[in-house]
Amino acid sequence: MNDPCESHEARLQRLKRDVKQLPLKPGVYRFYDDAGQLLYVGKAKALRKRVSSYFNHLAGHSPKTVVMVKQIMRLEFTTTANENDALVLEANLIKAHQPRYNVLLKDNKSYPYLHLTTDHAYPRLALYRGDRKARGRFFGPYPSAHAVRETLNWLQKIFPVRQCEDSQFNHRSRPCLQYQIHRCGGPCCDRIDVTSYGAMVSQVTLFLEGKDKQLVNTLKEAMWQAAQARDFEGAARLRDRIAGIEHVQERRRLNLSGEIDLDVMSVAVGLKKAVVQVFFIRAGINLGNRAFFLERGEEDDPSEILQAFVSQFYLDKPPPPEILLEHLPQQQEMLEEALSARLGKAVKLRQPQRGERRRLLEMAVENAQQALKQYQSSRDHVRTQLEALQELFNLAEPPQRIEIYDNSHIQDQHAVGAMVVFGADGFEKNQYRKFNLEASSAPDDTARMIEVLTRRFKRLKEGEGRWPDLVLLDGGIAQLNAAMKVVEELQIDGVAFSAIAKGPQRHAGREQLFLPDRPNPLILPHDAPLLHFLQVVRDESHRFVIGYHRTRRAKGQTSSRLDGIAGVGAQRKKALIKQFGSVKGVRQATLAEIAALPGFSTELAATILATLDEHHA
């Protein structure tokens, strides 16, 4: 047990004694403050040597490290079998605990892929997110869903492969609009035979594998054969397909030898943030790029930041065989070994000095610098608006956390509430909250606002979550009065409240701002930057709550007579609809057809048909 009255010198000497007990083995070390909060996680080839460097020669450390060392009250360590295991454990601990002084990659999104099914006579090509356990070929990852949709768009123009779900495919009686605009071959209605469709799928696969030169040569040969056979219409289709492929080659194909998979990374370091720009290159095609904003932590050196980013970025996704970096990490060999173990074959970290790879790296460097400038400009704008709010609400300092509340319903059905959070770095989407009010006895919007605020602030009173500095309510004086009832009942202090309502005829730009103890609403000039800022945060609350309301409403609309049948859960319901298209299709199916589905039995099929017949009677 640490003595809270322990002097700085005594604490330092105690920690040095603890360090002497550490083994000279690879592992992970952790620093904690006097409240038990994790400050930093690090890895080491030899724990004793690495950890002792923090407490010896303090003058040689960066200012951040000096501040961190002053807060360390105890340390813990875990030895590992090798340095690679230490790297993986470090990345897992950082992701799980988000220590204050580590470089933090706050990226919880799964990356989208193109998925080509292989368990159907007419394979489907579509966007896919998830664990990639489904049958088929995966191409990617892509930096965003937009990049996948863009790729699908131009692929459909060249290769009209279907994108529809199997349930739609199985129950069409005539081709859809995609066929009419030449974006699908119409296999659902036998407008293309299995052999021709399979040949087209093979061509798509060759293209996505980066073998487009081989593909173009094959298509040219087929085009000349069709022309010689006087099949001029078929030859024209092949000509157009070749032209489409060559057009994409000009726009997206890079001047790299071979079918290269690689990622390109550059870092730009700001005062409190670092930006890593990543370009995704697969099969020699530039799939797009994305900027990642990092909490800087203890590391100031760009190579250390890139090393921390790489170890966290590929923690739950396979790396490509080659990664181009602006700065090579000091522990390059260890990182390469760990990444190679994840991929199952060699992974190399490179810093190219010439050629196309150098040009790609320079492009990443420029994009990282531009992303950092844009972020800093946006942050300056936010700081200005927060200072304006401080003055408007007479706060002691600019608000660091603003919570915006809104409700949504249609004729009192599927009523929901939502909370959006805005902070010094912009919208904090991981802090958003939803409130289901469907079973609530609250009769109107003001009563629902009371319920939402009561539920929220009761939790804050119990120590759950961070308190806001300012609360904005979407609505007028009635919503503000409702909030004041909650303030009085729960004895809330130190939080400013306001309501923002649209002006007459709900005119945007003439919003009224209602404040407590002020008889008349405040109307900001229509061109005031603060008014625009308030509109933006209010509209974000609209977007979020309406999206949640639509989800709840859709869930209610998608309930069916299959719900509640003993033995039929979500997965079996999905399998039935996928196979038969609708509840009506299930009811018209035979006992044998239902029982033949994976996971179904004759007894369950009989129960399903009997229940549906009973409802239909």
Q: Are residues 342 and 245 in the same domain?
A: no
Residue 85 reports pLDDT greater than 70: yes
Q: Are residues 518 and 405 in the same domain?
A: yes
Question: Which tens digits make up the pLDDT trace of 219-275?
Answer: 888 899 888 888 888 788 888 888 888 777 666 667 676 668 899 999 998 877 889
Indicate the residue among 335, 355, 373 that finishes a domain. Answer: 373
Q: Are residues 463 and 520 in the same domain?
A: yes
Q: Are residues 541 and 419 in the same domain?
A: yes
Question: Which tens digits make up the pLDDT trace of 416-432?
Answer: 888 999 988 888 888 99
Mean pLDDT, residues 183-200 taken together: 90
Residue 48 lies in a domain: yes
Residue 213 lies in a domain: yes
CA distance 424 to 399: 8
Mean pLDDT, residues 344-357 taken together: 91
Question: Which tens digits make up the pLDDT trace of 294-327?
Answer: 876 656 688 888 988 998 898 878 899 999 999 9
On whether the CB atoms of residues 149 and 181 are closer than 8 A, the answer is no
Q: Are residues 353 and 445 in the same domain?
A: no
Give the residue from 478, 513, 519 showing the smallest Cα distance to 498: 513
Q: Are residues 548 and 421 in the same domain?
A: yes
Q: Are residues 406 and 523 in the same domain?
A: yes
- CA atoms within a 13 Å half-sphere pointing along the CA-CB vector of 77: 22
Helix (H, G, I), strand (E, B) or coil at 490: helix
Query: Between 8-20 and 47-55, two packed helices, what is the crossing angle to 10 degrees?
Result: 170
Residue 559 reports pLDDT greater than 60: no
Question: Which residue type is seen at 192?
Answer: I
On whether the CB atoms of residues 293 and 350 are closer than 8 A, the answer is no
3-state secondary structure 200-263: HHHHHHHHHCCCHHHHHHHHHHHHHHHHHCCCHHHHHHHHHHHHHHHHHHHHHECCCCCCCCEE
CA distance 448 to 437: 7
Q: Are residues 525 and 608 in the same domain?
A: no
**Backbone Cα Rg of the chain:** 30
Residue 411: per-residue pLDDT: 59
Give me the number of domains the chain comprises.
5
CA distance 36 to 460: 21
CA distance 489 to 333: 61
- Record the tokens describing residue 246, joined without a space: 């060559």
Q: Are residues 232 and 126 in the same domain?
A: yes
Domain that includes residue 437, residue range? 401-555
Residue 393 lies in a domain: no
Q: Are residues 358 and 406 in the same domain?
A: no
Residue 384 lies in a domain: no
Residue 107 lies in a domain: no
Q: Are residues 23 and 90 in the same domain?
A: yes
Q: What are phi and psi of 486, to 5 degrees?
A: -65, -40
Mean pLDDT, residues 157-181 taken together: 86
Q: Are residues 424 and 451 in the same domain?
A: yes
Give the residue from 211, 253, 217 showing the smallest Cα distance to 238: 217
Helix (H, G, I), strand (E, B) or coil at 345: coil
Residue 439 lies in a domain: yes
Q: How would you classify the pairing of strands 125-128 and 104-105?
A: unpaired
Residue 288: per-residue pLDDT: 84
179: left (phi over 0), alpha (psi -120 to 50) or beta: alpha
Indicate the residue among 532, 555, 578 that finishes a domain. Answer: 555
Mean pLDDT, residues 426-455 taken together: 83
Residue 3 lies in a domain: no
CATH of the domain at 316: 3.30.420.340
Indicate the residue among 202, 221, 252 that finishes a domain. Answer: 252
Mean pLDDT, residues 53-78 taken together: 83
Question: Which tens digits make up the pLDDT trace of 361-418?
Answer: 999 999 999 988 888 888 888 889 999 999 988 888 899 999 999 888 765 566 888 8
Give the residue from 312, 248, 237 showing the smallest Cα distance to 286: 248
Residue 99 lies in a domain: no
